[in-house]
Amino acid sequence: MEMVRPDPVQPRRVLPEPLHIAFHQNRMTPTQSLREVVMLVQVAARQRGRPFRDVLELLPNPDEEGETQHGVPLSPEEVLLRDLVNLAVTIRDDGQVNPLTVVDVSQGVTLQFRIETGERRSWASWLLRDFMAGYSGDGMIPCLVIPTEHSSVFRQAKENTARSGLWTIAMARQAALRDNWQFEQTNHNSRQTEPERDANTYITGKYAEFIQW
């Protein structure tokens, strides 16, 4: 898990902005970041009259519908953490069915992978390991390594919009990434030789099962 890190320019950000910046500046570890998130949510929940100690207490009541609890609307912070806890419980009970897709960004002998799709699953795995009792995993997370030259913001965008709608700011980030990627691809394709095009066609076919989400 330590070798896999979120993409800093991912439009849908799991962490609140100040924590997102601190984490990607290597001023906080994943565990420290999540601890800050839990503390923020505890404050928000306490202000709404529903304090909690264990993150599992955030799981929705089956008798209540929508984003409310005890008849009081959930704060954005509560919704964020509740959804991560839900995902962590699913991973704990059923295993991780869909692997993350990652890109190898290793430098020298240090192995490092950047998440292309599956950031929420990654954070849920950290939450499961460090904040939920009874964890019995091996600290590993299933990943599919995508060749660097075949990484795609479109695959990332497809997963983002498939899970739930992006907020306005995230939509703007996604559009900017898409436009920049299209511009770079147009320039790259115009310089590509016939053998390189053949190689990309082979890669697309080989990884079609995983990349066409």
| Type of residue at 177 | L
Tell me phi and psi for residue 9, to 5 degrees: -105, 15
Q: State the pLDDT at residue 209.
A: 42
DSSP state letter for 37: H
pLDDT band, very low/low/confident/very high, at 63 (cuts 50, 70, 90):
low
Higher-pLDDT residue of 103, 185: 103
Cβ atoms of 123 and 13 closer than 8 Å = no
- Report pTM: 0.72
What is the span of the domain harbouring residue 182?
4-211
> Mean per-residue pLDDT for 9-36?
93
Q: Give the integer Cα–Cα distance in Å for 13 and 148.
A: 22
pLDDT tens digits for range 99-120: 999 999 998 888 999 999 999 9
- When divided into structural domains, the chain yields a total of 1
Q: Give the integer Cα–Cα distance in Å for 116 and 57.
A: 31
Q: State the pLDDT at residue 62.
A: 66
Q: Give the integer Cα–Cα distance in Å for 33 and 47.
A: 22
pLDDT > 70? residue 200: no
